């Protein structure tokens, strides 16, 4: 009997993670015909000696271990596994994941029920049960995980949506489509291969993608050695392959979910709570203990006023050092040079030199970006005549920064 789907897991060392992943895969995928293909990128730890025995014990003849003589990175390893797969469906899976009960049926059902879908992925969770991944969002020049660290019960998380890209940390798609689309482009180094593939599925095949919220997997995230070291080069390669620009959708997704898009001092796109919601949350929390504010912030990560109020409360209570991480969150949320400057002063006052230095550096970077007319106008040209909403946001930001008329 041919397997229903093939699980392809590229690995490089971290045997303990691979062991736990395979154990959870066996435990939480009962009564389903599937095969497991682990592609080893020349691991030097126990992976080399223990993988075959464990895989065979767990999956029997439906287990295959492939080993490269040298590290060829994620894309080539995944492509090699796909070529050896026997089933019509491929499930790409990182080894830093833990499967949960019932993870497979919702993904299989979603793909089977909608022929317009090119790929689907599960809700990926951090160990504290907050969101690690529900899809990739795009600005003009960057990509990011949508609603990262949000609680899973948040309405924005629970809304079903079609997306331009999903992570290949856990991605199910037809094998024939994967091969026809050209597989993972092997010019990347452990990053952005999945985004590139997903954009091809959309542009060349007219396929949609979605996160299936009924399926959940824990993702310990980026435990592979060197996972983030090539991100800058990978992003430049992706931009080159996309002719220097992406199709921005972060603002569209945010608007649909009731958030307010804004342009940062670095001329990126961000999301924040609407003013009315900020005021309502703040009014409802007045007079409450810090624990209440913490709980509300967990439920509303974009609540900037809540961050400021709680930071002030903690400092007055002599707990300023404990508030430094909150100030860093606020800086990342607001993306303003001035907020980073305030944060650097706050962290220094409470003897957190490392965080203070980081915030000071980011302040200088954002200040330079904010004064960069060429950068501002290049962003405006990208959207002018294509996206009226974004065009208006950029024109407003330019007027604010340069106190004059916007160039035509």
What b-and-e string marks burial along 189-214, b requiring 16 or more CB atoms within 10 Å of the CB?
bbbbbbbbbbbbbbeeeebbbbbbee
Kindly report, residue by residue over 128-145, the tens digit of the pLDDT: 999 999 999 999 988 999
348: pLDDT strictly greater than 90? yes
Distance, CA of 340 to CA of 318 (rounded, Å): 22
Q: Which fold has domain 5-253?
A: Spore Coat Polysaccharide Biosynthesis Protein SpsA; Chain A (3.90.550)
| DSSP 3-state of 154 | coil
Q: What is the percent of the chain where pLDDT is above 90?
A: 90
CATH number of the domain at 275-370, please?
1.25.40.10
Query: How much is the average pLDDT of 115-124?
Result: 97
Dist. CA 235–CA 230, nearest whole Å: 9
Query: Strands 170-174 and 5-11: what pairing?
Result: unpaired
Mean pLDDT, range 383-403, rounded to an integer: 95
Q: Which residue has the higher pLDDT, 74 or 230?
A: 74
Which pLDDT score, from 0 to 100, does residue 220 have?
A: 92
**Predicted local confidence at residue 246, as pLDDT:** 78
For residue 293, name the pLDDT band (cuts at 50, 70, 90): very high
Is a pLDDT exceeding 80 seen at residue 223?
A: no
Confidence of residue 403 (pLDDT cuts 50, 70, 90): confident
Residue 226 has pLDDT above 70, yes or no: no
Domain boundaries, the chain: 5-253, 275-370
pLDDT (mean) for 318-343: 97
Is the separation of the CB atoms in 270 and 254 below 8 Å? no
Band (pLDDT 50/70/90 cuts) for residue 407 is low
**Which position has the token pair 């699980």?**
7
233-266, pLDDT tens digit by residue?
998 999 889 876 679 999 999 999 999 999 999 9
Give the tokens for residue 129: 């049960």
**Residue at token pair 């624990």:** 291
Is the predicted pLDDT of residue 277 greater than 80, yes or no? yes
Confidence of residue 231 (pLDDT cuts 50, 70, 90): confident
Whether pLDDT at 408 is above 60: no
> 225 pLDDT exceeds 60?
no
- Judged by phi (left if over 0) then psi (alpha if -120 to 50, else beta), residue 192 lies in left
pTM of the model: 0.94
pLDDT at residue 405, as a whole number: 64
As given in the structure block, the two tokens for residue 82 are 């796909």
- 32 — pLDDT class (breaks 50, 70, 90): confident
Give the pLDDT of residue 168.
Answer: 97
pLDDT over 60 at 227, yes or no: no
Cβ atoms of 216 and 100 within 8 Å: the answer is yes
pLDDT bucket at 30, cuts 50 / 70 / 90? confident
Tens digits of residue pLDDT in 70-85: 999 999 999 999 999 9
pLDDT given at position 230 = 80
Q: Is the pLDDT of residue 363 over 90?
A: yes
Q: What is the pLDDT of residue 34?
A: 97
Greatest CA separation found in the chain?
71
Per the prediction, the chain carries an average pLDDT of 95
> Tokens standing for 375?
């950068």
Average pLDDT over residues 92-115: 97
């Amino acid at each position: 009997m041919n397997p229903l789907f093939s699980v392809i897991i590229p690995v490089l060392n971290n045997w303990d993670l691979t062991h736990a992943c395979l154990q959870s895969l066996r435990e939480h995928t009962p009564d389903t015909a599937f095969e497991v293909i682990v592609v080893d990128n020349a691991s030097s730890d126990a992976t080399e000696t223990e993988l075959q025995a464990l895989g065979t014990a767990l999956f029997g003849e439906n287990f295959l271990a492939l080993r490269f003589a040298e590290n060829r990175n994620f894309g080539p390893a995944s492509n090699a596994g796909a070529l050896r797969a026997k089933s019509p469906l491929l499930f790409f899976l990182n080894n830093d994941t833990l499967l949960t009960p019932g993870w497979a049926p919702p993904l299989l059902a979603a793909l089977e029920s909608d022929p317009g879908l090119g790929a689907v992925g599960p809700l990926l969770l951090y160990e504290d049960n907050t969101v690690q991944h529900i899809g990739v969002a795009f600005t003009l020049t960057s990509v990011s995980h949508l609603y990262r660290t949000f609680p899973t019960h948040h309405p924005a998380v629970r809304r079903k949506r079609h997306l331009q890209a999903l992570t290949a940390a856990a991605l199910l798609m037809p094998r024939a489509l994967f091969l026809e689309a050209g597989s993972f482009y092997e010019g990347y180094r452990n990053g952005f291969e999945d985004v590139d593939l997903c954009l091809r599925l959309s542009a060349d095949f007219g396929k949609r993608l979605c996160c299936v919220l009924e399926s959940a997997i824990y993702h310990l995230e980026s435990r592979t050695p060197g996972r983030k070291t090539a991100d800058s080069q990978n992003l430049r390669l992706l931009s080159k392959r996309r002719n220097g620009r992406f199709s921005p959708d972060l603002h569209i997704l945010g608007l649909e979910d009731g958030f307010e898009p804004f342009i940062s001092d670095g001329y990126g796109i961000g999301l924040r709570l609407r003013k009315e919601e900020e005021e309502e949350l703040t009014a409802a929390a007045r007079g409450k203990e810090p624990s209440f504010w913490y709980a509300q912030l967990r439920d509303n990560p974009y609540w900037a006023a809540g961050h400021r109020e709680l930071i002030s409360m903690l400092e007055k209570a002599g707990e300023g050092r404990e508030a430094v991480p909150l100030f860093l969150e606020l800086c990342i949320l607001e993306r303003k040079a001035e907020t980073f400057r305030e944060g650097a002063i706050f962290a220094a006052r409470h003897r957190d030199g490392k965080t203070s230095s980081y915030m000071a550096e980011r302040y200088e970077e954002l200040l330079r970006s904010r004064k960069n007319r060429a950068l501002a106008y290049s962003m405006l040209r990208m959207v002018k005549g294509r996206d009226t909403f974004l065009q208006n946001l950029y024109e407003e930001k330019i007027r604010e920064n340069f106190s004059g008329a916007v160039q035509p």
